[in-house]
Structure 1
Amino acid sequence: MRKIQLDAQSGKIAAFPQPKPRNDCPARTADPSASRSIAELYAQHFAELQRRTEQALARGGFDHLVVPSGTLHYQVFDDRDYPYAANPQFKAWVPLTRNPGSWLVATPGQTPKLIYLQPFDYWHVVPQAPSGWWVEHFDVIVIRTAEEALAHLPKDPARCAILGEPLSKLGEFAPNNPQPVIDYLEYHRAFKTPYEVAMMREATRKGVRAHRAAEAAFRAGRSEFDIHLAYCTAARQDSNELPYNNIVALNQNGAVLHYMELDREPPAQSRSFLIDAGASHHGYACDITRSYASDAGSEFQALIDAVDAAQLVMCDQVRAGTDYKRIHLDAHLALAGILKDFGVLRISAEAAVETGVSGVFFPHGIGHGIGLQVHEVAGFAASDRGGRIDKPAGHPYLRLTRVLEPGMAVTIEPGLYFVDLLLDGLRKGEHADSVDWNRIDQFRPFGGIRIEDDVVCTDAAPLNLTRDEFAASA
């Protein structure tokens, strides 16, 4: 049973909107979280974390899992702190993302302990006492200074798997991050519980709402900076709350894969718009990219539409038993086919893939795992005992090489770009005649295209969280 020690305030149970079933996306499995309350979903999630913890500790030969929430980092020669980021191992248990100095202790057969820092502080807003649908699963101990946590941690640090960053050291409790424990927990974190799917869906709702606002700002001729502000306003999150820095690129800036400059003034003519931006909900992320042309009847919009149609086919490949590397390699062939259809390639799609020419236009991976982190961990893990599944030769930027299984959540983000640096290398190389340079010059001013959805593998058809929410907000 939950207990609050010291002088913490009680707080009320937080209300939470229950996810609603979506029936507007064809050929997919119903959301497993749709008909259950958040309390029920969390209880199942909590039980699964306890099961995984028991197995992980047995692998490492430890008695306790100890997880610090993380600490504030300060800039050198200054008293300004960097934006705080919660330890993913901590927020997997509790939806607390702004609570440095707290600790979680999980011991098999015992109620997990949350050591919650609620400091005496008149310089900053003090966190409220923990409350909500998850609190009853923990013994909550409120402390007033970070050092007080020591009295509530296990007696023998040597019997603890302590997962965190070095700066979280407290007395003799220094993170040791034992590899067998990490390997087990991170491997299984790829499999999302229904609670986690519900959290990701809520993040997606915020992200889609913000993407709609960003598109409207682009159509109104706003600058990259103003589009970014419109996005944050609609998401109701500032830059520190978003899961990653927004990519808001107009015209040729869309050819910079991680463009983050945010020009303050609009260009003389807005021809195209690429936005890669997400949102957060209780520690979980969404990751969404969309591309637009200012002229709906333009050839560049037709190219966007072709990539979008191909991306939907790739999303449908997110099925149990599919090798994610296969989706990536198939994407190269599909995108090369589009370039051939639009007159950019003079050689066949197969030849473009074989010679590496396709990589000039699609120079990144097809996607990655997603969840508590935008680039979720253990993308190359061979098993929960370690080992690595290598990337395909010639594809250094792929972030996931595992075979998909039910519960895994991934992004699918094919792209076509006209990057001067890569094109200059192609022009100087042996395959310069593989492309029509006049056609390339016609597309250069538009920068590039990327379409990205978050997709959950199920026992049947995939669950496309992104498309569902765009359809629901139409």
Structure 2
Amino acid sequence: MDKQLFADHLATLCKRYDDILEQCGFDTLNVFSGAPSVQFLDDNYYPFRVNPQFKALVPVTDNPHSWVIYRRGQKPKLLFYRPVDFWHYVPPAPQTFWSDEYDIELLAKPDEAKAYLTGENAAFIGEAARFDGWEIGQRNPQHLIAQLHWARAYKTPYEFTCLREANRIAVRAHQAAEEAFRAGASEFEINLAYLKAAGQGENQMPYGNIIGLNEHGAILHYTHLSTEPLPESERRSFLIDAGADCNGYCADITRSYAYREGEFAELVSAMHDKEQELVAGLTPGASYVELHKSCHQKIGQLLQQFGVIKTSPESAVESGLTRTFMPHGLGHFLGLQVHDVGGHQTAPEGGTTPPPAEYPFLRTTRTIEENQVFTIEPGLYFIDSLLGELKESQLADEVNWDKVEKLRPFGGVRIEDNVIVHADHVENMTRDCYGN
């Protein structure tokens, strides 16, 4: 990673933090990386997940008991935890592309951080319960966090570089997963192929990989991972939603495949076309909510095209029929978190703009702006529970149930890309990595 690129990024962050701290009445920000939690009635720990507000300042994702102390107008200080420990891996003192931008102090014990912390005109962000009696400032002030969340939506060139690399890693792994599927691997074996190609373990993945064969593609967050391979005669479809990490930034990509040529393969191809039309709609000043509504029009078109519904796309959207087949939102912000923060936020000061009542799972209601990063992920599924409700509703006669039964064994299709909004164009990081 280029040192100057990160230096410019941190300079932008420091300017942001200076302004936000001044507006919120603080001089100092104390950000804790987090601490591992012991499993109930056990002496093993749950996998450690870093505080995202910590990795927003420094690209350290795997070291608990560390701190960033930022004082307005000053070089940030990193308290980096390096215990004397023969049981666990101890990371080396940082000497990398970002380390010159911090004053670094090494901590042998977590309590040594007390000597560097102040509570005077300070705010603290992190898990507060473990610091009773510590002078760390106002704990998790929501007016400050709202400002930080709002600003996170606007990415810097360094962040774009990390997101592109995360996509490159993930696309390489997606290609390995498709090869494993074509070779007849089980869901578990496909996941192993993905992790190997990515060069990242399950705990480094930004979320649990969704890998579903056949009907399992209709389970939106399916992570069960059957170990049983399917005989060739039973191989029909494959849906994979999986990402990768680069310096704490996430990729979040979905692809669907048919094992054989036929109607489901045609549906997958048609969904690719619709998805790219929606990507093109990510233009500055546009409404993400309206883009989501446009997505339902396109799902209605596919349902009509493939004979699933007997009514028009417009009627299917108006009646809510399309929501049975696409119950989730079009996409979300992407960055340091898979579902990055601020998607429903009304203004820098806070407030919530909820999604329309008919689309409760839409994660973004913000106006689309330059330098924001989104996922676009339309889907069309045959979900037993939702189909059961539809069959008992007044809309049942508008459905070709014979066609539903024909397509139900394939589960569903979802196509998801990761996209940067520029002033004059959209950059589809995912398809750039695929070369199409």
TM-score, structure 1 as length reference: 0.90
Q: Match for 1:337: what amino acid?
A: Q
Contact 1:190/1:378, CA 8 A, preserved across alignment: yes
Give the Å deviation of 1:137.
1.2
| Alpha-carbon separation, structure 2, partners of 1:405 and 1:153 | 37
Give the Å deviation of 1:377.
0.5
Q: For residue 100 of structure 1, give the secondary structure of its aligned residue in structure 2.
A: coil
Q: Does 1:62 align with 2:62?
A: no
| Alpha-carbon separation, structure 2, partners of 1:292 and 1:175 | 51
2:202 paired residue number: 239
Aligned match for 1:276, one of 235, 241, 244: 241
Q: Match for 2:165: what amino acid?
A: E
2:150 paired residue number: 187
Contact 1:168/1:175, CA 8 A, preserved across alignment: no
Deviations 1:257-286 (A, max 9, x none): 111110101123110000000000110100
Contact 2:14/2:73, CA 8 A, preserved across alignment: no
| Alpha-carbon separation, structure 2, partners of 1:402 and 1:428 | 36
2:319 paired residue number: 355
Contact 1:286/1:454, CA 8 A, preserved across alignment: yes
Q: Match for 1:231: what amino acid?
A: Y
Superposition CA RMSD, Å: 1.1
| Alpha-carbon separation, structure 2, partners of 1:51 and 1:266 | 54
| Alpha-carbon separation, structure 2, partners of 1:164 and 1:470 | 38
Contact 2:344/2:363, CA 8 A, preserved across alignment: yes
| Alpha-carbon separation, structure 2, partners of 1:176 and 1:463 | 38
Q: Does 1:338 align with 2:302?
A: yes
**Greater shift in the superposed pair: 87-96 or 222-231:** 87-96
| Alpha-carbon separation, structure 1, partners of 2:62 and 2:264 | 43
Aligned match for 1:166, one of 120, 128, 133: 128
Contact 2:123/2:137, CA 8 A, preserved across alignment: no
Contact 1:166/1:174, CA 8 A, preserved across alignment: no
Give the Å deviation of 1:158.
4.4
1:394 paired residue number: 358
Aligned residues: 433
| Alpha-carbon separation, structure 2, partners of 1:261 and 1:143 | 40
Q: Does 1:299 align with 2:266?
A: no
Residues 17-416 of structure 1: pairs in structure 2 closer than 5 A: 38-154=2-118, 157-167=119-129, 169=131, 171-173=134-136, 176-268=139-231, 269-295=234-260, 297-416=261-380
| Alpha-carbon separation, structure 2, partners of 1:90 and 1:471 | 34
Q: Which runs of 4+ in 1 moved over 2 A?
A: 166-175
Q: Match for 1:161: what amino acid?
A: A
Q: Percent identity?
A: 45
| Alpha-carbon separation, structure 2, partners of 1:425 and 1:387 | 35
TM-score, structure 2 as length reference: 0.97
Give the Å deviation of 1:389.
1.5
| Alpha-carbon separation, structure 1, partners of 2:320 and 2:54 | 42
Change over 3 Å in CA distance of 1:351–1:176 after alignment to 2: same
| Alpha-carbon separation, structure 1, partners of 2:235 and 2:20 | 53
Contact 1:68/1:168, CA 8 A, preserved across alignment: no
| Alpha-carbon separation, structure 2, partners of 1:248 and 1:110 | 46
Q: Does 1:455 align with 2:422?
A: no
Give the Å deviation of 1:393.
2.3
1:4 paired residue number: none
Contact 1:328/1:366, CA 8 A, preserved across alignment: yes
| Alpha-carbon separation, structure 2, partners of 1:462 and 1:289 | 19
| Alpha-carbon separation, structure 2, partners of 1:451 and 1:316 | 15
Give the Å deviation of 1:71.
0.6
| Alpha-carbon separation, structure 1, partners of 2:331 and 2:343 | 10
Deviations 1:134-191 (A, max 9, x none): 111111111111110110112xx14211111234527233771111211111101011
Deviations 1:344-401 (A, max 9, x none): 1100001101111000000000001010000001101111111222211210100000
Q: Match for 1:169: what amino acid?
A: F
Q: For residue 279 of structure 1, give the secondary structure of its aligned residue in structure 2.
A: strand
More relative contact order, 1 or 2 (CA 8 Å, 6+ apart): 1
Contact 1:103/1:115, CA 8 A, preserved across alignment: yes
Change over 3 Å in CA distance of 1:175–1:145 after alignment to 2: farther
Contact 2:120/2:137, CA 8 A, preserved across alignment: no
Contact 1:59/1:180, CA 8 A, preserved across alignment: no
Contact 2:121/2:137, CA 8 A, preserved across alignment: no
| Alpha-carbon separation, structure 1, partners of 2:74 and 2:275 | 47
**Greater shift in the superposed pair: 46-55 or 394-403:** 46-55
Q: Match for 1:353: what amino acid?
A: V
Give the Å deviation of 1:77.
1.1
| Alpha-carbon separation, structure 2, partners of 1:59 and 1:70 | 26
Contact 2:331/2:374, CA 8 A, preserved across alignment: yes
Q: Point out where structure 2 has 5 or more consecutive residues left out of the alignment.
A: none
Contact 2:275/2:378, CA 8 A, preserved across alignment: yes
| Alpha-carbon separation, structure 1, partners of 2:356 and 2:246 | 34
Q: For residue 197 of structure 1, give the secondary structure of its aligned residue in structure 2.
A: helix
| Alpha-carbon separation, structure 2, partners of 1:259 and 1:375 | 17
